[in-house]
Structure 1
Amino acid sequence: MPPRPAPPHPVRPRRRAVLAGLLAVLGLGATACGPGPSAPVTAGTGYPVELSNCAATVRLERAPERIVLLEPAPAAILSGLGVLDRVVARAGAFPRSCFDEATSAQITAIPTLSEELDATGHLQINQEVVIAQQPDLVIGLPDGLTREALREAGAEVLVPTSFCGAPAERASFTALHQELTAYGRVLDRAEAASALGAALQERIDAVTASAAQRRTATAAVLYPSVGGGPLYTYGATSMATAQLDALGIENVFAATPDRVFEIGAEPLLAADPDLLIVLHQHDGEGEDVAAGMIDADQLASLRAVQERAVLPLLFDTVEPASPLVVDGLERIHGWLLDREG
């Protein structure tokens, strides 16, 4: 699970064998999961569905009925498509402030398999625990899980395409529409996906139009590891760059094609951006995360720090591509308007 700072998520899953008699041993079958869909799920007219996802082929014979959610941001897509009730289990950090009250309550009611994250924000979970939920679709592929083992257990995997590795082109909101289209196909909600995309595009266009007169500014988007570990920043293929582009702001590290990469204090001090956006993963304002990063990496001399132009922001409102990145875009824009008076 995210962040997905370093390395681009996921690239080196550890292979595990699927244990025989697993469900009986763990005692975690269908009865241990949350409520199923409120209405019967039919095969739909567009099945089987086959699509490419992170260089793998995903094939579903019918609309998924039992989803295990190992990434928080796709919950916003599932909610927007009206299928969040198909999620039978979740794992990771799902900050309540990322979602509206009704969605947050629905997410909270879903049984949790693990909330353990490592220092860089990646989910820690055993494959066997996921398989025990008898999913037909798993969203997310943290280290320790493989497509092959999950497919053998009857589940296909969708990885947020932002985490598939560095694409060839600079990130844009096209990635959001492509993600919505894919989920609409997989979940038999193509019309709902189209409507959701149109509504989100209206919001993107409104921010872009409002920001058109903004003076040129520069920014860096940073993710500090928990406990004083490495500092990461985001390059051309990150949705952070798509957001900054829409706001008329230059990402000082957009010349780097990587989505995310480790950075030291020296190049950051040399770039000296006008604005800093500091990502974090848990509810709260995140000011403590930003302050800890500034102290640990000796960044107090940055103009952005001295001028208090530092915005803590929830990670999932920046990456991966989901409706939450539009929330993040509006959050950054509102903060800038407040600063500009």
Structure 2
Amino acid sequence: MRPARPAALAILAVTALFVSSCGSGGGAETSGAAGGASGGDGAVDYPHPVENCGEGVTFDQAPERVVLLETAPVTILDGLGVLNRAVARAGDFPAEYYDDDLNERIDGIDSLSEDLDASGHLAISQEAVVAQSPDLVLGQPDGVDRGSLASAGSNLLIQEVYCPDSAMNATYETLYDEIGTYGEIFDRGEAADELVAQLRERVDAVADRSQGEDRTAAVLYPTVGGGTTYAYGNRSMAQPQLEMAGFENVYDDVDERVFDVQIEDLVDRDPDVLILLYQGEAEGVEQAVTELPGAETITAVRNGDIHTQLFNFTEPATPLAVDGLERISERFQGD
């Protein structure tokens, strides 16, 4: 879960990085999507620069050894036919996100750690990442530093909606641009264009079905067992997801991706629908909101118009956010 995105905590000594960079990991079987483990369209000249979170990242060649430090990029890599280049992964990869074939291939990727803290953040050492000798690391949990990885020969990319201090308002174009960037990096432009076309068609289909909706909604990440409840503003993928599903985000006036919300404010804004995000188990997620003092007066709670879904079905900008959009549409369309 990424309700907050603190900066990386520690820059490890470069010497230690190089000492630990001699390890290797096993990759998954070749993806069933376009392409194999090497080669590409031949349309990209290397070295190839891209920009990520305002920083230049240069690829001397298409990445061959990828380490996944978050679940979200899996469906992009699979759509481009390069998931077989993932040599290691860390974190929780819920089976509900993927079909049986993709789950089997994910299971074939070496797991470095499945340790998550109470807020859902991955706990892993930078040495464990560098030991895989990656040329691309996707995701940046605390303690993993872009500069130190670069010194060890590893590029790091973060999903654009997670960039610190980002002023970007997310849209589904954010997703299409993200796929285009990956297509450039791996020289899979044709596969990227095909994937974007398929996703556009699905998003447009939901938007067409949702015309005429005039209800409001809020997307929340409640803390089970008590604690902070987070809400998503106009810089999160929750914003375009609600818009495409025909809802007005009650927090569309908040220029943040995610922020703490008090029950009094939620009651005052009185959304017609609640979308609740979670990681791990769904048990207790709905009760974490409905049992807050005064929650029974919220229209969504009173009418039972509450939908829970795993976090990556809304954030960040990946094909899973299209799956999540369709789930929301199926839940509320025609109500």
- Alignment counterpart, residue 34 of structure 1, candidates 11, 14, 27: 27
Which deviates more from structure 2 when the two are superposed, residues 123-132 or residues 100-109? 100-109
Q: What SS is found at the alignment partner of 1:133?
A: coil
Q: What SS is found at the alignment partner of 1:300?
A: helix
Give TM-score scaled by structure 2 length. Answer: 0.92
Paired amino acid for 1:290: E
Give TM-score scaled by structure 1 length. Answer: 0.90
- Do the aligned residues in 1 keep the contact of 2:28 with 2:83 (CA within 8 Å)? no
Shift of 1:99: 1.1
- Alignment counterpart, residue 301 of structure 1, candidates 293, 297, 302: 297
CA distance in 1, matches of 2:17, 2:153: 14
Q: Percent identity?
A: 44
What runs of 5+ residues in structure 1 fail to find an aligned partner? none
- Do the aligned residues in 2 keep the contact of 1:228 with 1:293 (CA within 8 Å)? no
Shift of 1:337: 2.1
Pair 1:324-2:320 in alignment: yes
Pairwise CA RMSD of aligned residues? 2.0
CA distance in 1, matches of 2:225, 2:105: 32
CA distance in 2, matches of 1:298, 1:17: 51
Aligned counterpart, 2:60: 61
Aligned counterpart, 2:13: 17
The number of residues matched between the two structures is 328
- Do the aligned residues in 1 keep the contact of 2:28 with 2:106 (CA within 8 Å)? no
Which deviates more from structure 2 when the two are superposed, residues 229-238 or residues 36-45? 36-45
- Alignment counterpart, residue 251 of structure 1, candidates 249, 266, 286: 249
Shift of 1:52: 0.6
Shift of 1:242: 0.5
Q: For each residue in 1:136-189, what CA deviation from the matched residue of structure 2 results, as whole angstroms up to 9, or x when unmatched?
A: 100011110101111111100010111013544532111011100100011111
Shift of 1:225: 2.9
Shift of 1:10: 4.7
Q: Aligned ranges for residues 68-147 of structure 1 at < 5 Å?
A: 68-147=67-146
Q: For each residue in 1:169-222, what CA deviation from the matched residue of structure 2 results, as whole angstroms up to 9, or x when unmatched?
A: 5321110111001000111111100110000000011000010122x1111100
- Alignment counterpart, residue 264 of structure 2, candidates 263, 266, 269: 266
Shift of 1:20: 6.1
Paired amino acid for 2:23: G
Shift of 1:296: 5.2
Aligned counterpart, 1:335: 331
Pair 1:46-2:45 in alignment: yes
Q: For each residue in 1:44-94, what CA deviation from the matched residue of structure 2 results, as whole angstroms up to 9, or x when unmatched?
A: 542111011011111110011110001101101001111111001111121
Q: For each residue in 1:5-42, what CA deviation from the matched residue of structure 2 results, as whole angstroms up to 9, or x when unmatched?
A: 12xx3534322224167439xxx822x43357685524
Q: What SS is found at the alignment partner of 1:57?
A: strand
- Do the aligned residues in 2 keep the contact of 1:166 with 1:258 (CA within 8 Å)? no
